Structure 1
Amino acid sequence: MKLAMEKLLAAGLLSASVISAPVMAMNIVLTNDDSWDTQNIQILKAALVTAGHHVIMSAPCTGQSGKGGAMTFLKPVSVDETKAAQQEFCVGDTDTRVAFEDYAEGTPVMAVLYGIDVAAQTIWGKAPDLVISGPNEGNNLGFMNNNSGTLGATMIALSRGIPAIAVSAHENTAHDAAQSELVANAVVEVVATLESSRPAGGPLLPAYTGLNINTPEDMSNHLGYKLTDVGWNSGGIELKFSDDLSSDAVLMGYMVQKLMAGGMDQVTAQATAQAAMQDKQGLSFGMGDAGDANANSEGNAVKAGYITISTIDGNVQAARAKVSLTEQRLLGLN
């Protein structure tokens, strides 16, 4: 089934020109883990609407990167409906004066479920045809997908039987509108290709199956679409715990970039980041490929300049060959 879907995508994407309008307008719930007030999600919403789709945005009120499948249990959660006329909603408390035991963050999983269970039912009277999570401000690749709020929202939608697509872009889309618009156009093209290649009477995607799309740094000169495997390579990034965050070149570079995107000059941004992280402990980033040099792993392909599309599902079952080898070693258990 995966191979058949990849053939359909390949036929539509790898050799076709950009599709400017969908075959059929769809009801789409759009979410992400960077909050509803980001350039990426706003530009993608506009692009989908322009293409003829009906879009509900339901995202966390605050940034929730790295939250994976996190949820807030046994607490009521605030929902901001002040932009309901634009079909935009955000989930989660924003008043930090609220006591810790009462404060309820709106995670990506919670936000997309609000979109599916409440907003879509109120506006359309039914579940959405598709969930799109992203575009994230930064790629989600390889093993790092396990930590991603972008993927967490995608997986919970798949568990409800709703086709879902995770989209993650380079960090530059946080402040480069031109790159963000190119990413949005690519997503619209993928959606149109899926719809135009849908078997008669068939689903948009096979049951419990989604896509993980990642776009490269320079969307103006990308190498085209590449159908990839998730693999292990996270694009050259690995997690580590540091006792001095200011010594982490990757983390500091990211912080400086964010500060400069907010209008700070480079010298001030570097000094500010250094002061904030000097002698502080915490989770940081290192360089590594998890030993995965396969050119078809999405982490390697996106670094090479491709728009990668990996087929995903919520099944963490190991491949049968690995299962057999492991089971043979456990036969002595009773």
Structure 2
Amino acid sequence: MFILCTNDDGYLAPGLGVLSEAAKALGDVHVVAPDREQSAQSHALTMHFPLRAKQVREGVHHVDGTPTDCVAVALGALLERKPDLVLSGINHGPNMGEDVLYSGTVAAAMEATILGIPAVAVSYAGRDATHMQSYGPLLEALLPQLATRGEFPAETLLNVNLPPIDASAVRGVQVTRLARRVYADSLTRAHDPNGREYFWIGGGNVEWSAPEGTDFHAVNEGYVSVTPLHLDLTNHALIQDVAAWNLAV
């Protein structure tokens, strides 16, 4: 198996090292990742500036673009053949609930899915990466199960969140749905030393609606969460209801 590993924290991020090492249990690994932090880039694609890739060493490139750019450049120019699997992560921080809409980690896996390649996004659901290194053996055992269990679901990627505890304390794996979160006071309004007003997005308080069966509940209980994410965002249950509005122009 030929595996492409990428992330949104940059090619030097420890989580990428843990994931790419674990992936070697599956086959040959090639890393193509951003040259710097690209968190919360979502599915951004660079279209108005040239992209440059640099080989760091054999099997490792960095690209001065977004995670989505990395997948596009890897498949279009850097890899000698199409990968059998794309792994994105390990993200330094959770990607649960609405996080998946903003996450560059998830977006890289989604880009691979759009291109017809099975993909898994992996995140460590804690800001302190103390225990991240312990997840190597766990991922070596889990990844083959995710990658080779029959035919990979069409137009679907798997979003994995690891609890912020030592891997030896993990209670198991749960297949989950997305939780819901609400940010409060996430916008800071202030003035710089020259008196000019600026705004800073981030921080604040997070409240979760996370009943049993959701990713946040599973991680909070010490389980690895695996959430299948589908590319089709259509609310099929409402198609007939919206059609009954008799919209016209």
TM over 0.5: yes
Distance 1:223 1:161, change over 3 A: same
Q: CA deviation at 1:313?
A: 2.1
Cα deviation, 1:245-304, whole Å, max 9, x if unaligned, reads 9xxxxxxxxxxxxxxxxxxxxxxxxxxxxxxxxx963102333335x3322121222122
2:200 is matched with which residue? 282
Unaligned ranges ≥5, structure 2:
192-196
Q: CA deviation at 1:192?
A: 1.4
What TM-score, normalized by structure 1, do the two folds share? 0.67
Matched to 2:62, the amino acid is: C
Rounded Cα–Cα distance in structure 2 between residues aligned with 1:238 and 1:300: 20
Larger radius of gyration: 1
Q: CA deviation at 1:187?
A: 2.8
Rounded Cα–Cα distance in structure 1 between residues aligned with 2:184 and 2:93: 14
2:72 is matched with which residue? 113
Cα deviation, 1:40-73, whole Å, max 9, x if unaligned, reads 1112212222x25100000000000000011221
Which of 49, 67, 73 matches 2:41?
A: 67
Rounded Cα–Cα distance in structure 2 between residues aligned with 1:153 and 1:138: 16
Q: CA deviation at 1:38?
A: 1.0
Q: CA deviation at 1:188?
A: 2.6
Distance 1:286 1:32, change over 3 A: same
Residues 56-135 of structure 1: pairs in structure 2 closer than 5 A: 56-83=30-57, 85=58, 87-92=59-64, 106-121=65-80, 126-135=81-90
1:274 is matched with which residue? none
Rounded Cα–Cα distance in structure 2 between residues aligned with 1:307 and 1:206: 20
- What is the number of residues matched between the two proteins? 244
1:142 is matched with which residue? 97
What TM-score, normalized by structure 2, do the two folds share? 0.88
Matched to 2:220, the amino acid is: K
Rounded Cα–Cα distance in structure 1 between residues aligned with 2:243 and 2:217: 32
Structure whose residues are more often helix by fraction: 1
2:225 match: secondary structure: strand
Which of 211, 216, 219 matches 1:294?
A: 211
Rounded Cα–Cα distance in structure 2 between residues aligned with 1:117 and 1:33: 19
1:82 match: secondary structure: strand
1:81 match: secondary structure: strand
1:171 is matched with which residue? 126
1:48 is matched with which residue? 23
1:306 is matched with which residue? 223
Rounded Cα–Cα distance in structure 2 between residues aligned with 1:70 and 1:165: 19
Rounded Cα–Cα distance in structure 2 between residues aligned with 1:184 and 1:158: 24
Contact 2:125/2:219 (<8 A) preserved = no
- Structure 1 residue ranges, 4+ long, deviating more than 3 angstroms after superposition: 171-174, 194-197, 236-239, 322-328
1:333 is matched with which residue? 248
Residues 213-224 of structure 1: pairs in structure 2 closer than 5 A: 213-218=160-165, 219-224=167-172
Contact 1:167/1:212 (<8 A) preserved = yes
Cα deviation, 1:76-98, whole Å, max 9, x if unaligned, reads 21211132x2x000001xxxxxx
Contact 1:131/1:165 (<8 A) preserved = yes
Distance 1:195 1:43, change over 3 A: closer
Distance 1:107 1:238, change over 3 A: farther
2:194 is matched with which residue? none
Q: CA deviation at 1:323?
A: 3.5
Matched to 1:282, the amino acid is: W
Unaligned ranges ≥5, structure 1:
1-25, 93-105, 246-278
Cα-Cα RMSD: 2.4
Rounded Cα–Cα distance in structure 2 between residues aligned with 1:151 and 1:306: 20
Contact 2:180/2:210 (<8 A) preserved = no
Distance 1:82 1:223, change over 3 A: closer
1:42 match: secondary structure: helix
Q: CA deviation at 1:331?
A: 2.3
Contact 1:117/1:127 (<8 A) preserved = no
2:173 is matched with which residue? 225
Which of 141, 147, 151 matches 1:189?
A: 141
Distance 1:77 1:165, change over 3 A: same
Contact 1:56/1:119 (<8 A) preserved = no
2:79 match: secondary structure: helix
